[in-house]
Amino acid sequence: MANTPSAKKATRKIARRTAINGARRSRVRTFLRKVEEAIASGNKDAAVEAFRAAEPEMRRAASKGVFHRNTVSRKISRLSHRVKAIAEA
């Protein structure tokens, strides 16, 4: 248990940050789910639109430190290849 005033403040800050990061992570997952569903349905237009909406959200989460930037880059790259494959098919 925190005893010093600075440790108590740090605990409050961590709790606040955890809530914010959880919301951001959830938001990114929602956007990713929409892309995955569009790819699974085979709808080219929906997949492209969902991907265009998801990419900036993922980059924003990486810039805020919610996800590592290399992880986001890898996921975006793999998603873009899958969306492109649908678009060409």
pLDDT tens for 8-62 read 999 999 999 999 999 999 999 999 999 999 999 999 999 999 999 999 999 999 9
Instruction: In whole angstroms, give the CA distance from residue 23 to residue 34.
Output: 17
Per-residue confidence (pLDDT) for residue 9, from 0 to 100: 94
Per-residue confidence (pLDDT) for residue 38, from 0 to 100: 96
Instruction: In whole angstroms, give the CA distance from residue 38 to residue 44.
Output: 8
Q: Is the pLDDT of residue 1 over 80?
A: no
Instruction: In whole angstroms, give the CA distance from residue 74 to residue 83.
Output: 14
Per DSSP, the three-state class of 85 is helix
- For residue 47, give the amino acid letter: A
Q: Is the pLDDT of residue 88 over 90?
A: no
pLDDT tens for 75-86 read 999 999 999 999
Q: Is the pLDDT of residue 89 over 80?
A: no
